[in-house]
Amino acid sequence: MPKTKNTQNTTVSFWNSVKTKLIAVMMIICIVPMAISLTISTENSVAQAVKDAQEKGLQRAQIVENEFQTIFLQNVRVMEAISHSREIKDFILDSDHKDLDRIQQYLITLNEHLGDGNDIIVEEASGQQLVRTSGTLVNVADREFFQEALTGKEVISDVLISKSTGLKVVILAIPIKDLENNKVIGVVQKSYDLSFLHEFLAGTVDEAAKEESFILDREGNLIAHSGYELKPEDEAPNYSKLPFFSDQKTEGNYITQFEGKKSLMGFQKEEQTGWIVVSAVDYNKTIASAKRSANLTVVIGIIMLIIAIGISLTMANSFTKPLHLLNACMSLLAVGSFRQIEQYTGRKDEFGEIIRNTNSVIDKLSGIIQNIKNSTAAVNNSSEDVAETANQISQASESVATAVQDISSGAAQQASEIDEVTENVNRISEANQKVQSNTQTLTSLASDMQKESSVSSENLTSLQHSSEKMSESILQIAEKVGATSVAVENINSKVEEIASIANQTNLLSLNASIEAARAGEAGRGFAVVAEEISTLADNSKNLASVIRSEMDILLSKSSSAVEMSDAVRKENERQQDIISSTVQSVKDMIDDISSTAASARSIETEVDGCINANGVVSNAMSSLSSVSQENAGSAENTGASVEELFATATTLAESADALKEISDQLNHEMAFFR
């Protein structure tokens, strides 16, 4: 039998094609989630990078502020010790200043202990400098910081040009009061060269990461910058228009334009001096890694999309090619050509089963049509023989022609009608068998669907239990993280106590140094011990500051962890609601599948009854055909015994001619099938 080969001839448009729709659906399923996830991932990466940079900038500003405050407080304590020194007060009140060398050496010793290289200066109430660790004595009566110190206040000056060195400096001035009348008799000051602050800030930044730190005074003027050193002749830039300058908060973050580029800034205001410590980093440099990560994700997504296109095209072809073959086979059958499908007969899925069943039907139909063609040819030959014999007999049997003609004509007509009924009954039987086969297939599929749905229901129920357990675990994690936060706060309180003890120890050490210096050579050993105690106190305070900073970071991370665990718990609860709804939907679907299976079994039972009834009708028609044939034989026997055999033979000849015409017509109709 001819085989149907793969062909793509179809009248279905490209957009209405099943293949196009399958590919479109799979592409939408791949593209939409991928686009959403890429967008969310990119935004989250950039936001997290900015957040991390802001936290780092604020922490760096806080560290700079803490270190600067430590240095400042240490200098303030030394200066206060000098202002309270009885020897210094006696030196100022002594108009001859006989102890100048000893006082200068005392100041030099204290200045070496501070180790910053800046001068300590003592002035009398007239503004004339009496003694300094180095440099030329000048009069500072016109200086604003000196005039304010004479009112009894401790003063930090703005940036100014030193009269003795010509450098840009910031001055700490502390009044010296007479204990008897509490009157200001002089001022002790310490000059800070801004190059010292520049070196200090430069050590706190990573230039490769485009980080920079700077300090502004109370008016917004630049005091020192990590990237460059201010020269005496340079005018200090003013940054009072930056948003954080007018902010009432003591610390925070801003994203703003700075020196022609977008920057992330963290600021910390120093309470005692009113100065602002600022840490800045290039915004584009900060988010560059996040953008690179997002671009890499996009490339991976495109590759996955190309793979998905290939997979969807392969799957669509596996579905549509068998359909094209079935369409071609049915098209040939519609024009009377029996062609079996030679491809995909070995497939184990539904398409393979459909193709094998189609080939079986075509094979059976082809056999039936061929048998009809053979029978028609045999009838045509027999009718010709009967006509010839009847013509020979008619010459001698005219007397019985009329009677035999009536009997023969009726028997032939009855036989023809019985044959047609028998053929229709056979067709009904074949149709019932096909319905029975399809019903059995439907019953089997419904049973399989019922089993698979039950398994899915059990899996969803298990997933629901697992989700509930995970919610309990999330709650336990949140409780543990909360306990960690409490422990961190307790540690912070202990660190504050350590820092306080270190400050007190440092003050005692300073007083001891002063007393040792006053004792002269006899107190030199005690001064060394006091200096070591001061060093240990400073180290203790610095270490306490570092611990406090780390504990603050840990506390912040713990709070974030609690918030994240709460968000995860809420999302898990929402998933539990969805799973519960899905479990109920699957249970409803199982009930519907059970009803479908029951209906299919009922149909199968009814079809069995139809097949049995059709068999009874077919047997009855076969018996009736036998009776009809016996009647025709009796008519022939009667015609042979009748004297007027001629008339009977003539009638038989006419019947044979009519049968030949019917046979020719049937042959013409059977020519439709090739």
At residue 11 the predicted structure's pLDDT band, cuts being 50, 70 and 90, is low
Comparing 69-190 with 200-286, is the CATH topology the same?
Answer: yes
Sheet containing 276-282: order of strands: 222-225, 211-216, 276-282, 261-269, 251-258
Average pLDDT of span 599-619: 68
Select the more confidently predicted residue: 581 or 93: 93
Whole-number pLDDT of residue 188? 93
- Coil vs helix vs strand at 255: strand
Alpha-carbon separation of residue 153 from 179, 380, 422, 605 (angstroms): 16, 139, 129, 110
Name the CATH superfamily, with its identifier, for domain 366-652. Answer: Methyl-accepting chemotaxis protein (1.10.287.950)
CA angle 163–190–278, rounded 5-degree value? 95
Pairwise CA distance, residues 659 & 385, whole Å: 11
Does the structure show a pLDDT above 80 at 344?
Answer: no
- β-bridge partners, 276: 216, 269
Q: Which residues of 20-51 are buried (b: 16+ CB within 10 A; e: fewer)?
A: eebbeebeeebeeebeeeeeebbeebbeebbe
Give the mean pLDDT of the chain: 75
pLDDT for the residue 7: 47
Those residues with Cβ within 8 angstroms of residue 393's Cβ, 6 or more apart along the chain or in another chain: 645, 646, 648, 649, 652
pLDDT digits (tens, 9 = 90+) for 624-659: 566 556 656 665 665 556 556 566 667 766 776 777
Q: Which amino acid is at 609?
A: G
CB 621 within 8 A of CB 415: no
Least confident piece of the model among 173-177, 357-361, 508-512: 508-512
| CB-CB contact of 14 with 312 (8 Å) | no
- 139: nearest Cα among 148, 130, 151: 130
Q: What is the mean pLDDT of residues 421-429?
A: 68
pLDDT in tens, 118-153: 889 999 989 898 998 888 888 988 888 888 888 888
Q: Tell me the angle at which helices 524-641 and 401-519 cross, rounded to the nearest 10 degrees.
A: 180
User: By C-alpha distance, which of 239, 229, 79 is closest to 168?
Assistant: 229
Query: Is 443 in contact with 598 (CB distance < 8 Å)?
Result: no
Q: 418 near 621, Cβ under 8 Å?
A: yes
Which secondary-structure segment (H or E) carries 345? none
Structure tokens given for 421: 């009924």
Per-residue confidence (pLDDT) for residue 176, from 0 to 100: 92
Distance of CA 560 to the CA centre of its chain: 20
What token pair was written down for 148? 């304010």
Helices then strands, each counted (H, E), the chain: 10, 13
pLDDT band for position 112 (cuts 50, 70, 90): confident
CA gap 184, 178 in Å, rounded: 6
User: Across-strand partners of 222?
Assistant: 216
* Residue 89, pLDDT score: 87
> Tokens representing 83?
């202002």
Q: Give the pLDDT band (50/70/90) at residue 8.
A: very low
CATH tag, 69-190: 3.30.450.20
What does the alpha-carbon distance between residue 40 and residue 43 come to, in Å, rounded to a whole number? 5
Q: Give the start-to-end residue ranges of the domains of the chain.
A: 69-190, 200-286, 366-652
DSSP 65-86: HHHHHHHHHHHHHHHHHHHH-H
Cβ 178 vs Cβ 124: under 8 Å: no
Query: Residue 6 carries which DSSP code?
Result: P
Which tens digit of pLDDT belongs to each residue from 513-544? Answer: 787 777 777 666 767 777 777 777 677 777 77
Name the helix (H) or strand (E) containing 428: helix 401-519
Indicate the SS3 state at residue 158: coil
Q: Is 200-286 a domain of CATH 3.30.360.10?
A: no
Residue 396 has pLDDT above 60, yes or no: no
- Residue whose pair of structure tokens reads 């097949």 in the numeric block: 611
Nearest-CA neighbor of 537 among 493, 497, 500, 503?
Answer: 503
The phi and psi torsions of 403 (rounded to 5 degrees) equal -65, -45
Measured distance CA(94)–CA(101) in Å, rounded: 14
Please give the pLDDT value at position 366. 78
pLDDT reported for residue 392: 67
Instruction: Compute CA distances 74 → 303, 502, 503, whole Å.
Output: 62, 12, 9
